[in-house]
Structure formats: structure tokens, C-alpha cells
Structure 1
Amino acid sequence: MSNKKENLKNNSGILTKKDLIIASLRHYIGISTYNYDSGLASTVVWEQYPALRKIYSNDDDLIASINNHFKFYNCHPWLSAIITGATLAMEEKDGKKSLEAVQNLKAGLMGPFSGIGDTITWVMLPTILGAIAGSMGKQGNSFGMWLFVIIFFMLFVLRSYLYIFGYNQGVNLITSLGDKLHAFTDSISVLGLTVIGGIISSTINFKLALEFNQGGVKLSGQDVLNQLMPSLLPVALVAFLYYMLKKGFKMTTLILTVIVIAMIGAALGIFKA
């Protein structure tokens, strides 16, 4: 406890522990605000607004920070508290100058943290605890069910402490980096691009169904593309959608466009799942 208090004091002194507790409690709104345009960005703005208002006395700087947080963000809600707590510490330390680093940190960590959170809280724990509860329940013992409830309640409460943990780590990160923040920003930016690139190739299933017959030899169009560049079509699709977003098209419009193109392409035998 004493170390935590020391950490909270070794910063610019703008935010108090009470501010962090308020932000951590507002964080519980979580995934209920999810949308396909900005993910959980509105959640981040909601949870951090009182703290950001204290950090930025200038309205223009506050608006710049809010707009930065409204960029797409999607992370497992239980571990997201670590990331958003750290970004608060970064903005408290360097204000508007930290916005690029804040966005790069979120983009670089939201994927790995989501993988950890999904694996542990959505798959591993429910499977293990559910098996225990079911086995004991068949014997007329309700202890397994209560064990399930208690553990998940403890994890639910732990989310508030993760917020303060993330904030403390953010303070330590900024203090230790000092004038190396620019190099850190570049490193996180590379990490974010790497994560996004991996997501594109592994999750977007967009393949060519065309086949060519020449002299009794059958050639798959998708095999030809794979020889040129694996996952070429998913990358081209993402580039096209990104270009359309920059032109001002809404996310719902792009989703409907992809659905229509996929249906027409499948019907004509051009694309396959």
C-alpha cells in the first residue's frame, strides 16, 4: 500500500487517487457501448473524461485528447483497465505531446491483451470452473457453483485495482524513459502495425474461387495469388476500406458494401469462403 501511495505522489500532482478510483468505476460500463465504427472508444472517453478535464485546463487541448481517444479501440474489458490507466499517466505527464504515444500504446497492446483476456476469462476459467460445478452438482453439492460465482466476483472487483496498477506502470514508464519517449513511440507504432497486419492475414477470409483449365491442366486463381503474395486479397480489401473511410464513408455503409460484394461474388463463382 505504501509503495502505491508513493507512486501516486511521484507524478505531476494533477490526479489524485480519488480521480483514479472514479475512472476505474466508470470503466465498468465496458462492452455495453461497443459499436463497429469506433469499438470501445466511447467507453474510454466516458471513463476518462473527469480525469482528462483536470489534466487539460485548455478546452482545445481537451478536445484534441477526446478526439484522439475516439479513434478505434477494442480490447478485452477486464484487461483494458491496465492500458487506459497507463494512458492517463502518460497524458498527465506530457499532456498534448503524448497523444501520439497514447494512441500507439493502445493500438499495440489491445490485441495481445485481448488474446490473454479471452483465453483466461472467456475460455479457460469458465471451462474449468463449469466442469467442477457440474460434477459436484450431479452429486447434490452446490459448492462448485458458489466457487464459480466467488472467483468471477473477485475478478470483477479486481478490475478497479488493475486500473490503478496500469496508471502506476504508466508513471514508471514515462519516468524511466525520460527523453527517450520518441523512440518508445516509434517502437510501439511498429508493434501496433505488426499486430494489425497479423489480424488482417489471420482473420479476414477472402479468397478467389476462379479456376482456369488449359490443356487439361487445372490452375487455381487463389494459388497464383498466394505465389505472388499470401493474403493479397485481404490486404487489398482492408486498403480499399481504409481509403473509403478517409473519404468520409460510414462504417455501416462499408459493412453493407462488403456483404453485397461477397454475396454477388459468391453467386457468380468469383469468391469463396
Structure 2
Amino acid sequence: MDFAEKGNQKKSSNNNDNDKVTKNDLNKVWVNWLFFQEACYNYERLQASGFLYAISPVLQKFYGDDPRQMKEALTRHMQFFNTEPYFGLAIHGVTLALEEERHKGEPISDEVINNIKTGLMGPLAGLGDSLRAGTIAPIVVGLCIPLGRQGNLIAPFLLEGILIAIFWPLSRWILRTSYEKGKEGVQEIFRSGLLDKVTKFTAILGSMTLGALAASYVTLKTTAKITIGKGSVIDIQKDFFNSVLTNFLPLAATLLCVWLLNKKFSATQILLIFAGVVTAGVLLGIL
């Protein structure tokens, strides 16, 4: 009798596991996304195939025995998707929560799931890009560049190691928390105004960091000289820029790049413009 009861309890536990996303399922989703987020990346759907592959263990668990529902799920999550890869995992968590409720019989339509995904893509991409690409990554790069310039082979490994140590645990926590809180928790973050404060702070800090990097690593000098009278030569770089307007030319080049970006010039166009300016300067003997 005891064995029968234990067997029934085990069977009941398995049935419950099939109706919810477990810790093991979240780990699979996390690993799939980290390593295959841009698998089959294309201009039509961007990260959609990577997103679908990431959550496929859960979809297989929920709908694997029903070909019709499985087909609908695959179609549902092959819609256009693109966001920041680490903070964007909040979308995966919310989606898993919605899929779980749908599997349990809640009237959650395809439109609801896709609309929530679409609505969160932009804000989370902005938050993630500001914190990761605009703030933390430049700071870590700035710390590792001096080691690399000295010929230290540990620099690239240290760079990747620090970034992984920061963002991998953080992304796993974001996925778990967003799943547990569901869409209400994520939406509460936006309603509270916390996102605006964080975005403003990171934008300021990111601008300061990029400004410091530009001042440290952008170099531009002129070889132009002006002859006054007989034997009197003024070296513009040495006598003017180095003495009166220190680092004026690197600042001017940086501001020109920013201005071109604001005018919607592409990176390729900006590179061609700078290449043309430098070439003309060399031919004229002023650079």
C-alpha cells in the first residue's frame, strides 16, 4: 500500500512538472539563448529563430503531444524579434509565464503574447544597451586596453572574463525573476518610473566614460608650419595646439563624428569621410 501511494505521488508530481516551467527548463532556455541567440539571424525576423530555439524545450514540454498546438506555438514565436541579449531575457521569462498559463487553459491569445513581446523589446533594449554596451563594457575595455598595449596576452581573456562574470549571472537572474513575477512584475518596473531614472543615469555615466576614452585614445596632429619673416617659423601643433588648445584636434574629430551620427550618416560613410579628410591633409602636407 505504501509503495502504491508513493507511486501515485510520483506520478502526480510528474504531471505537475509537465504543467509548469521548472528550474531545469529555465537553465535550458538560458543556455540556448546565450549560445544561439543569433542563430539563423536574418533581416526579415532578426533574432526570432534564436528566440524560438531558446524556449523550444518548454514548447516541446507543453505542446509536444499535440501537433496542432505545437505548430501554432512555432508560428507564434517566429514573428519579428530583436532586443538586447542579456536584459532582454526578461521577455523570455514573461513569455514562458504566459505560455504556462495558456497551457493550463487560460484564454491567452497569440496576439496578447506577441504584443507583450513587441512592447518590451524596445525599452529593454534601450536599458540593456545603456548599461551594458554604453557603460559597463566601455569601462571594462578601458581597464584592459592599457594591458593590451603593453603586450600583455592576458588582456583579451581578462576582458571577456570580466564581462562574462558580470552578465551571465545577471542574465540568469533576470530570466528567473521575470518568469516568477510574470508580465505584471515587468510592467510595474515601467509604471514606477524606475526605468527612466536608470536610463538617465546610465546615459550620463556612459557619456562621461566615452568622453574619457575619446580624450585618451583619439589622436590627431598637424604638421603645418607658418613662416613669418626671415627664419621665424611657427609650428602650429607645438606652439599653438599643444600650448593653447590642448587636444583640440582630437576633440574636433570626435565632435565631427558625433555630428555626422546625429545627421544619420552610417558608420561606413563616416569612415570614408575621415579617410578622405586624412588623405587630403597628407597630400597638402598639413597632417
User: 1:62 matched to which residue of 2?
Assistant: 70
Query: Could you tell me which of 29, 32, 40 is aligned with 1:26?
Result: 32
Report the equivalent of 2:135: 124
For 2:107, the equivalent position in structure 1 comes to 97
The number of residue pairs the alignment matches comes to 168
Structure 2 residue identity aligned to 1:163: L
- Write the letter of the residue equivalent to 1:97: P
Secondary structure in 2 aligned to 1:148? helix
Distance 1:33 1:110 in 2: 19
- Paired letter, 1:59: P
Maintained 8 Å contact 2:137/2:163:
no
**Which residue, out of 138, 161, 179, partners 1:167?**
179
Distance of 1:146 and 1:45 partners within structure 2? 31
Superposition pairs for residues 6-155 of structure 1, below 5 Å?
13-28=19-34, 29-56=36-63, 57-95=65-103, 97-98=107-108, 99-135=110-146, 148-155=159-166
Q: Does the Cα contact within 8 Å between 1:129 and 1:144 map onto a contact in 2?
A: no
Q: Against the structure 1 CA distance between its residues 53 and 141, is the aligned structure 2 distance closer, same or farther, given a 3 Å change threshold?
A: closer
Conserved? CA contact 2:39–2:49, under 8 Å: no
Runs (5+) with no aligned partner, structure 1: 1-9, 178-273
SS in 2 for 1:25: helix
SS at match of 1:31: coil
CA shift, 1:129, in A, is 1.9
Give the unaligned 5+ runs of structure 2. 1-15, 189-287
Instruction: Identify which range, 114-123 or 21-30, moves more after superposition.
Output: 114-123
Query: Is the Cα–Cα contact under 8 Å of residues 18 and 62 in structure 2 kept in the other structure?
Result: no
RMSD across aligned positions (CA): 3.3
Q: d(CA) in 1 for partners of 2:175 and 2:54?
A: 11
Q: 1:37 to 1:97 in 2, by over 3 A?
A: farther
Distance in structure 1 (CA, Å) of the matches to 2:114 and 2:183:
17
Q: 1:67 to 1:46 in 2, by over 3 A?
A: same
- Alpha-carbon spacing, 1:13–1:102, altered in 2? closer, same or farther (3 Å): same
Distance in 2 separating the partners of 1:32 and 1:58: 26
Q: Find the residue that maps to 1:74 and give its secondary structure.
A: coil
TM-score (norm 1): 0.52
Go from structure 1 to structure 2 and tell me whether the alpha carbon gap of 1:155 and 1:171 turns closer, same or farther (over 3 Å shift): same
* Residues in 2 aligned to 1:49 and 1:129: alpha-carbon distance in whole angstroms: 34
Question: Within 1, Cα distance between the matches of 2:134 and 2:154?
Answer: 21
8 Å Cα contact 1:11-1:93 kept in structure 2:
no
Given that residues 74 and 110 in structure 1 are in contact (C-alpha distance below 8 angstroms), is that contact kept between their aligned partners in structure 2? Answer: yes
Give the aligned residue type for 2:179: Y
Matches for 1:257-272 after TM superposition, within 5 Å: none
**Residues 62/37 of structure 1: CA separation in 2 closer, same or farther (3 Å cut):** same
Equivalent residue number for residue 198 of structure 1? none
Q: Please give the alpha-carbon distance, in whole angstroms, between the structure 2 residues aligned to 1:100 and 1:49.
A: 19
8 Å contact kept, 2:87–2:124: yes
1:30, 1:43 within 8 Å by CA — same for their partners in 2?
yes
Deviation at 1:131, TM superposition (A): 2.0
Shift of 1:157: 2.2
Matched with 1:266 is: none
Paired residues of 2:92 and 2:175 also in contact (CA < 8 A):
yes
Amino acid at match of 1:79: F
Deviation readout 1:139-187 (Å, 9 max, x if unpaired): 788897665333201134222332222211217659x99xxxxxxxxxx
Q: Give the number of the structure with larger relative contact order, counting CA–CA contacts within 8 Å between residues 6 or more apart.
A: 1
- Under a length normalisation based on structure 2, what TM-score does the superposition of the two structures give? 0.50
Letter of the 2:86 counterpart: W
Give the aligned residue type for 1:123: G
Contact 1:133–1:142 (Cα < 8 Å) also in 2: no
| 8 Å contact kept, 1:39–1:72 | yes
Q: CA deviation at 1:17?
A: 1.3
Percent identity over the alignment is 28
Pair 1:33–1:154, CA change in 2 (3 A): farther
For residues 177 and 33 of structure 2, what CA distance do their matches in structure 1 show? 14
